[in-house]
Amino acid sequence: MAAQSLRPGQSKSWPDGSNSAPITPWGRAQTLEKIGKGLAWAMTAGHGGLAVSAGMARKNLSHAALKEGRLMGGYYWFEEDVAWAIPFYEMDEWRVLDARHSHRRTKLTRERVEKVVAQWFKKYMADTKGRGEKAPKPPKKGDKVVFNETIEFKSRTIKKGEVGHIYKVTPGKYQILVGGGLFGFNKSDFEQGEFSVKNASTKTAGHPEMSIKLRGGEKFIAYNFSYWQWEYDSSSMYAAVILDVSSGKLRMELVDTHTKSGLGAGKRTAIKAKADMGTLSKPKVGGIASILSRHGHDRTRAGHPFSRSWTNYETNKEGPLKGIIQSYQAVGTSGQTDQALREELARNLDKLPMDVVRQLLQKV
Handedness of CA 44, 46, 50, 52 (dihedral sign): negative
The pTM of the whole model exceeds 0.75: no
Q: 348 Cβ partners below 8 Å, 6+ apart?
A: none
From 197, 253, 258, 247, select the one nearest 220 (Cα to Cα). 253
Task: Kindly report the number of other CB atoms within 10 A of residue 208's CB atom.
Answer: 20
- Quick: pLDDT tens for 116-139: 999 999 999 999 888 988 877 888
Task: Kindly report the number of other CB atoms within 10 A of residue 310's CB atom.
Answer: 27
pLDDT at 313: 87
- Quick: pLDDT tens for 28-40: 999 999 999 999 9
Q: 186 Cβ partners below 8 Å, 6+ apart?
A: 172, 173, 174
- pLDDT category at 333 given cuts 50, 70, 90 is very low
Return the C-alpha torsion angle 159, 163, 166, 170, nearest 10: 30
pLDDT at 358: 61
The answer to whether residue 168 scores a pLDDT higher than 90 is no
* 291-307 average pLDDT score: 89
Range of lowest pLDDT (141-155, 176-190, 326-340) = 326-340
The DSSP element (H or E) to which 100 belongs, if any, is: helix 92-101
Q: What's the whole-number average pLDDT of the chain? A: 85
Q: With b meaning 16 or more CB within 10 Å and e meaning fewer, what string describes 248-261?
A: bebbbbbbbbbbbb
Q: With b meaning 16 or more CB within 10 Å and e meaning fewer, what string describes 325-334?
A: bbbbbbeeee
The answer to whether residue 221 scores a pLDDT higher than 90 is yes
Gap between the Cα atoms of 57 and 363, Å rounded: 43
Q: 287 Cβ partners below 8 Å, 6+ apart?
A: 275
pLDDT at 325: 92
- pLDDT category at 149 given cuts 50, 70, 90 is confident
pLDDT at 73: 82
* 34-51 average pLDDT score: 95
Instruction: Report angle CA 41, 74, 172 to the nearest 5 degrees.
Output: 170
The DSSP element (H or E) to which 186 belongs, if any, is: strand 181-186
DSSP string, 280-327: SSSB--TTHHHHHHHHSPPSSSSEEPPPSSEEETTT--EE-HHHHHHH
* 335-347 average pLDDT score: 56
Which long-range contacts link 168-171 to residues 24+ away (Cβ below 8 Å)?
A: 168/141, 169/139, 169/140, 169/141
The segment with the largest mean pLDDT, out of 41-45, 189-193, 212-216, 231-235, is: 41-45
